[in-house]
Amino acid sequence: MENVMGSSVYSPVSEKVVEDLVALLGRSGVTTDREKCLAYSVDETIPRFEREYAAEAVCFPEDTAQVSAVLRYANEHRIPVTPRGAGTGLSGGAVPACGGIVLSMERMNAILEVDRENRTLTTEPGVVTADVTKAARNSGLFYAGDPCSGDISFIGGNVAENAGGNKVIKYGATGAHVLGLEAVLPDGSVVTFGGRRRKDVTGYDFVHLLVGSEGTLAVVTKIILNLIPLPKRVTDLLVPMPSLEAAVKLVSLVTTEGGVVPSSVEFMDRNSILNVERYTSLRIPHSDAAAQLIIQMDGMDRRQLWGDVEKTGDLCVRNGALEVFVAEDRNARDRVWRIRKYVAAEEWTYSMPVLSKEDIVVPTSAVAAFLTRLPRITERHRATYNAYGHIADGNIHITIFPDGIAPEEDLHELAVPLRRELYACVNDLGGTLSGEHGTGLKRKEYTDIFLNEAQRALMKRVKRAFDPNNILNPSKMLP
C-alpha cells in the first residue's frame, strides 16, 4: 500500500506481526478472523464506500500501556493503525483506509471518577456516551454533550469527532466540555494535556487540537469532562410550521425577541416527517406541515422556566405556528424526541438507495437562503431529499435520494458533481462541509473547496509533527 504522505510503503500484518501483537496484548487481545476484521472495518456512513476496506488485524487494548505498546510496535514496523470507538461515525473515520491494524477502544470502558467538588468526570474512551450522562446525573450533575447517537457512540469517538448534537446552542459541542486528555502519540509516548481545571493558557492548546482530529494525531486514552449543575426542569415544545421561511424566522426570534436561550432547537422538514410515518408506527400531528420544530428549554426554577415557555409559545403562535404542543413529563418528552431520533436513524434508508448523506453548516443568517437553493441543486442532479437537523447551529443534515436514475447508473459517480455543487453553494454562503460528522474518508476530496493551499499545507505539517511515519489513521481528512 502506498503511503499517502511520502515514498515509504506500509508493511503487511504478517504471521510474525500477529505473534508479536499477541505477545503484547495476550491471545484475546488480537484477532485476524476475516469476518471480525470486516465487521470492524465499516462505520455507519451511508452509502457505503465504493470499495471494501479491510483491517488485517483488530487489537483490543485494555489500558494505556497496551495502546502505547501497539503504537510503538506499529510505528517501528510501519503498520497503519486506525483507532475505533463504537463505529457509529458518518464519514468513514474508523474505516481502515490503508489496511493494517484497527485499534478498538471497546475494552477501555471504565468511568474512572466523578469528582463532585471539582465538577469533573474522568473516563476511559470506550464508555458509551449515555453512560457518561447517567454517571454524571447519579451524582446530581450534568454532562451536556448530547449527540443523537448517544445511546450507541463512545465518548472517545465523540471527542475525536468533536460531536455536536442537540444541545450545542446552549452548551456547546463536545470540545466545550473537555478539560483534559491523556493520549498516546504514534511513537508510543504518553502525553497529558489540560486537567481538572477550567483555565489553562500554559503552552499551546493541545486539548482542542486533539478534539476533532479524527484519530489522525493521537489515540485518546483518558478524558476529563466538565460537568455543570443538573437542570431541574426541562420542557419541550413540538411546533408544526406552515413554511420553511416561517420556521427559520421563528428560530432566530426565540433568542433575539424572546430573550430565551433554548437548550435545543431541532428542525425536520415535511419529507423527513412523512418518512417517519411511512416507515414506523409513529403518528405525528400536522405531519404534512412544511416543517416541525422541537424547542427545548431547561432551568433550575419552575416559575422562570414556565415564563420562558410562555414567551416562546406566544412567539410561535404570533409567527404562524399551526399549533404548539407542550411536553413537560418524561413520557411526553420522550414521545417528542422519538420523532427526531427516528429521523436521525433513518432506518428506512437502509432499504432505499441513498446518493449522499450530508452535514453542512452555514451561518444561521444563511439557513433560509440555503434551504431555498437546495431543491434546485438536487433537482439538477435528479434527486430528492430529506432535510433536518440542528437548525439553531445552522447545521442541516440532508439525506439525498436518487429520483429517476436508472439502476445501471453508478450512484457513487453521480454523487461527486452533486456534492461539489452543494458544497460550492455552502461555501458561497459562508458555510463549511461538515458541522459535526467529520471529514474522514468520505469528504477529504472536497476540502479544497473550503481550505486554501496554505491551510492544507499547515495541516500536513501538523500531521507530520505528530506522526512523521504517517501510521495513524492515514488517508483521512486530506486527499
Interacting residues toward ligand FAD by CB under 6 A:
43-44, 82-90, 93-94, 105, 125, 147-149, 153-154, 156-158, 160-161, 163-165, 214-215, 219-220, 344-345, 436-437, 440, 473
**Least CB distance from residue 407 to ligand FAD, whole Å?**
27
- 93 versus 313: smaller Cβ distance to ligand FAD: 93
Q: Tell me how far, at minimum, the Cβ of 190 lies from ligand FAD, in Å.
A: 13
In the complex, least distance from residue 53 CB atom to ligand FAD, rounded to whole angstroms: 13
Phi, psi angle pair for 241, to nearest 5°? -120, 145
DSSP, residue by residue, 143-165:
---B-TTTTTSBHHHHHHHT--B
Please identify which residue in the block is written with the cell numbers 467538588.
117
The label of the residue with cell 452543494 reads: 422
Q: Is the peptide bond before 47 cis (omega within 30 degrees of 0)?
A: yes
What letter does residue 363 receive in the DSSP assignment?
Answer: -
When the beta carbons of 161 and 298 are compared against ligand FAD, the nearer one is 161
Question: Mind giving me the DSSP string for 85-123?
Answer: SSS--SSSTTS-TT-SEEEE-TT---EEEEETTTTEEEE
Query: CB-wise, 142 or 154, nearer to ligand FAD?
Result: 154
- Least distance (Å) from ligand FAD to the CB of residue 345? 4
Instruction: Report the nearest approach of ligand FAD to the CB of residue 346 (Å).
Output: 7
Q: Please identify, using beta-carbon distances, which residue of 209 and 369 lies nearer to ligand FAD.
A: 209
Residue closer to ligand FAD (CB basis): 333 or 340: 340
Which residue, 381 or 444, is less far from ligand FAD as judged by CB? 444
Q: How far is CA 136 from CA 79, 130, 132, 298, in A?
A: 38, 10, 6, 17
Please say whether the beta carbons of 323 and 285 come within 8 A. Answer: yes
Round to whole Å and give the CA distance between 149 and 272. Answer: 18
Shortest distance in whole angstroms from residue 400 CB to ligand FAD = 17
CB burial string 338-363: b at 16+ within 10 A, e below: ebbebbbbbeebeeeebbbbbbbbbe
Nearest to 295 by CA among 264, 326, 269, 250: 264
To the nearest whole angstrom, how small is the minimum distance from the Cβ of residue 253 to ligand FAD? 24
C-alpha grid cell, residue 269: 422538514
**Nearest residue to ligand FAD, using CB?**
157
Q: Mark residue 219 as left, alpha or beta (left: phi above 0; alpha: psi -120 to 50; beta: remaining).
A: beta
- Quote the DSSP letter at residue 449: G
Query: By C-beta, is 313 or 435 nearer to ligand FAD?
Result: 435
Contact 177, 136 (CB under 8 A): no
206 neighbors 257 (Cβ within 8 angstroms)? no
Q: Which CB, 99 or 125, lies closer to ligand FAD?
A: 125
Instruction: Find the shortest distance in angstroms from Cβ 47 to ligand FAD.
Output: 14
C-beta of 319 vs 475, nearer to ligand FAD: 475
At its nearest, how many Å lie between ligand FAD and the CB of residue 132?
12
CB of 148 to ligand FAD, least distance (A): 3
Q: How far is CA 97 from the centre of its chain?
A: 19
Torsion of CA 448, 452, 455, 457, to 10 degrees: 70
Segment (H or E) for 59:
strand 57-59
Please identify, using beta-carbon distances, which residue of 90 and 244 lies nearer to ligand FAD.
90
Could you tell me the smallest distance in angstroms from the CB atom of residue 146 to ligand FAD?
8
Residue entry with cell 436513524:
345
- With 0-12 / 13-18 / 19 or more C-beta atoms within 10 angstroms meaning exposed / middle / buried, residue 47 is middle
CB of 452 to ligand FAD, least distance (A): 24
Nearer to ligand FAD, 347 or 403 (CB): 347
Question: Which residue lies nearer to ligand FAD by CB, 185 or 327?
Answer: 185
Q: Residues 441, 97: contact at Cβ < 8 Å?
A: yes
